[in-house]
Amino acid sequence: IIRSLVRHLAFETLPDYSNYTVPTKSAMTIYSVVCMVMNDNNHLAQTHISTKIALQEKGMRSLSGLYLKRQKAKDPIVKASMKAEAARALWNLAKNNTKTCKSITESKALVCFAMLLEKSKGEVQYNSAMAVMEIAAVAERNADFRRSAFKTNSPTAKVLVDQIVRIVQEEDSESQLLSSCIRSIGCLARTFHARETTIIPPLVKHLDHRELSVSREAAIALSKFACSENYLHMEHSRAIIESSSAPYLVQLVYFGELAQIPALILLCHLALHVADSEAFSKAEALPALDWASKQVTFIHGPVLENLLPEAKTRLQVYQSRGYHGFH
């Protein structure tokens, strides 16, 4: 069933989706990934053969040509609807299911999702983003799957992540689509190197988003970069505080409603790891932590019960000693 759904996604999305391997070149585009085994002099024949092989695996040897003709004859709206439903099905199948996610990634669906995120709009794009989000959520919980599906030298994973980041960077991204992409980045926080500087600034920018639901997702995602469980938490915390996050976080702690607790958690992580930054004193972060420590709804939370007092104490120590600036 996974192969069948991916075939619907790949049809007229990839030039050839059933028979390619991933090259090891460092500089890759989506098209260089999906066209890597295309024969420039025999494009139509290669597409026909590869499609026929895929159909034979389903026991439909005699229907391959008819399948292509029928698919090509369909109205663009119908084809878009089919892609949207295929992406929705993969989204639902991927939820909390490592085995299914492995099948999806092994079927080369990630490169399909990358192209649909780039070229499609509306339901097709959104459902693709949600499917990627569910796969990323499984990768966050399963280290083996994360290393295999999103390994750092994978061109396919790179083009997919590039498209997610592009959506996060765009000013006019629709909020639901934006939230799903932000959540995907958070789930994959452990896969990013410290030198990947394009990830943090757009997430910080969305702490000041007009919709608090987006600000909430941004704070949660950034906390996954800054928490102690992330091996590079010191480097990421430094990048977050240098991206002028402190004023946004202080404002959210006071007035952020549904984003209050995620913002407070992130502010605490930053205070623990980079308390020597003068950004905290400029943003008056310590008074915000002091205020939060007196709010019953904050101090009895499972995460903040210990995190908040530790962060407050650490920031007090640095500011009382006059530690301003980086050392």
Q: Confirm whether 119 is domain-assigned.
A: no
Q: In Å, what is the CA distance from 171 to each residue of 121, 154, 216, 263?
A: 15, 28, 17, 22
Q: Confirm whether 278 is domain-assigned.
A: yes
Angle between helices 98-106 and 122-141 (to 10 degrees): 120
Nearest to 275 by CA among 306, 316, 247, 236: 316
Q: Are 308 and 264 in contact (CB under 8 A)?
A: yes
Q: How confident is the model at residue 13 (pLDDT cuts 50, 70, 90)?
A: confident
Nearest to 20 by CA among 82, 103, 94, 110: 110
Q: Confirm whether 237 is domain-assigned.
A: yes
Q: What average pLDDT does the segment 244-273 reach?
A: 97
**% pLDDT > 70, the chain:** 80
71 pLDDT exceeds 60? no
Task: Note the pLDDT of residue 57.
Answer: 42
Q: Confirm whether 284 is domain-assigned.
A: yes
Q: Confirm whether 174 is domain-assigned.
A: no
Q: Confirm whether 309 is domain-assigned.
A: yes
Q: How confident is the model at residue 267 (pLDDT cuts 50, 70, 90)?
A: very high
Dihedral-angle region of residue 322 (phi above 0 means left; psi in -120 to 50 means alpha; beta otherwise) = left
Q: Confirm whether 164 is domain-assigned.
A: no
Token pair listed for 10: 């790949």
Average pLDDT, the chain: 83
Per the structure, the count of domains in the chain is 1
Task: Note the pLDDT of residue 28.
Answer: 41
Q: What average pLDDT does the segment 34-39 reach?
A: 36
Task: Note the pLDDT of residue 153.
Answer: 83
Domain range for residue 234?
225-327
206 pLDDT exceeds 50? yes
Q: 306-320 burial, b for 16+ CB within 10 Å, e for fewer?
A: ebbeebbebbeebbe
Q: Are 188 and 141 in contact (CB under 8 A)?
A: no
**% pLDDT > 90, the chain:** 61
- Residue in this structure with the two tokens 């702690």, named with its chain if needed: 253
Q: What average pLDDT does the segment 260-264 reach?
A: 97
Q: Confirm whether 308 is domain-assigned.
A: yes
